[in-house]
Amino acid sequence: MALTEEVLLARARRSYELARLRVALRVAPFVLAAAGAAVACGRPLALSCALGGAAVALAVGLGFAGGGAGRAVLPGLAGGGAALAMPLLVHTLGFACMGPACMALGVPACVLGGVVAGVLIGTRARFEEHEAAFFLPALLLAGLTGALGCSMAGAAGVLGMLVGAVLAGTPVLLAARR
């Protein structure tokens, strides 16, 4: 039975798409490890699973899509990892994040993590032809990853992280354009 050109093209396309998916799935263990670290440091299981699941889906989807969005995955995860690490570090050092005490160190740790994420993403985005196609997905992924840790400081911590990332990343990106 002779294979037609149509059948060969369909097989080649399927092989190509499966290879892209395999490459995109390589980041999933790192995101799951971040969610596991958040749970190990006392974050609620349901919240960590929801944020981790959304981050895995976004990272794999962006990686599969490719282009600027696909290149945004690693910097987004790295920036989100910094934002995740700051409040978890504060927690593991024995600082209790409850009530007003959380505002003293927890929220500033989240803001600092967001600033680190924003600078990292903004610095990397300057090398992209279409910065917005890179910057926005990277910030979204960093926000989901960072929220795994910054949720410790409540909504103020997550919002502080996001504001820090945007306010630090945007000027870095704009300065790099000049």
Identity of the amino acid at 140: L
Query: In the predicted model, is pLDDT for residue 142 greater than 90?
Result: yes
3-state secondary structure of 58: helix
- pLDDT value of position 92: 72
Query: In the predicted model, is pLDDT for residue 74 greater than 60?
Result: yes
For the entire predicted model, the pTM comes to 0.85
CB 56 within 8 A of CB 28: yes
More confident: 153 or 82: 82
Query: In the predicted model, is pLDDT for residue 7 greater than 80?
Result: yes
Name 34's Cβ contacts closer than 8 Å, sequence gap at least 6. Answer: 52, 55, 77, 80, 81, 84, 145, 148
More confident: 91 or 96: 91
3-state secondary structure of 3: coil
- pLDDT value of position 115: 92
pLDDT bin (cut points 50, 70, 90) of residue 2 is low
Q: What is the mean pLDDT of the chain?
A: 87
Rounded to a whole number, what is the distance in angstroms from the first to the last CA of the chain?
61
- pLDDT value of position 137: 94
Domain positions in the chain are: 18-177
CB 90 within 8 A of CB 136: no
Query: In the predicted model, is pLDDT for residue 94 greater than 70?
Result: no
Where b means 16+ CB within 10 Å and e means fewer, 15-33 reads eeeeeeeeebeebbebbee
Q: What is the mean pLDDT of residues 16-42?
A: 92
pLDDT bin (cut points 50, 70, 90) of residue 51 is very high
pLDDT bin (cut points 50, 70, 90) of residue 157 is confident
The DSSP line for 87-156 is HHHHHHTT----THHHHHHHHHHHHHHHHHHHHHHHHHHTT-SSHHHHHHHHHHHHHHHHHHHHGGGHHH
Q: How far apart are CA 61 and CA 64, in angstroms?
A: 5
- pLDDT value of position 20: 93
Q: What is the mean pLDDT of residues 110-123?
A: 91
- pLDDT value of position 108: 87
Query: In the predicted model, is pLDDT for residue 97 greater than 70?
Result: no
